[in-house]
Amino acid sequence: MTLFELINSTPALYEYARTGNDGAIQQWLNTPSIVSSRKIPINEFVACLYDTGAFTAIKQAAVNNNATATFAIETMKDCKALGVESIDLSLIVNQDLLNGLLVQTIITQEQVDAVAALAVTLVSPAEANGLGAVSLADVAEWRLLHG
């Protein structure tokens, strides 16, 4: 979406645009307010597993020859060895692995929720629409062209 389309499609910005309050438009566009998902840095992911006790539970299940737990441990090792920097929990395969550990009562729903919470972030309307940070000059240019 272009800056023009975003501003013109947002009723909350109408009064700011009408009165020429470019600073308020810029602030609204750049203020994080939209829930989005993000890839979780591997270090954060593993730290959360440790902090919640999930990693120890998975490791213990792997020592007791649980195939799902062993697969989870090997996958984490592979990530480190390959230099993978983040995990995308929006991928079904990653969700399935966590759910497999949950269904087998290796980890708890609370532990899964703690990991899933790491993927939730707030982004600005500009970011959500692929615009990045919007400068005051961007808004002023929009006003000159379309205001």
CA–CA separation, 124 and 32 (whole Å): 4
Quick one: pLDDT band at residue 4, thresholds 50, 70, 90? confident
pTM over the 0.75 mark: no
Model pLDDT for residues 39-68, shown as the tens digit of each residue: 999 999 999 999 999 999 999 999 999 999
Confidence (pLDDT) at 147: 57
CA–CA separation, 57 and 17 (whole Å): 56
CA–CA separation, 17 and 15 (whole Å): 5
Provide CB contacts within 8 A for 99, sequence distance 6+: 112
Show me where the domains of the chain are located: 3-33+124-146, 37-120
Model pLDDT for residues 79-128, shown as the tens digit of each residue: 989 999 999 999 999 999 999 999 999 999 999 999 999 999 999 999 99
Confidence (pLDDT) at 3: 80
- pLDDT of 20 > 90? The answer is no
Quick one: pLDDT band at residue 5, thresholds 50, 70, 90? confident
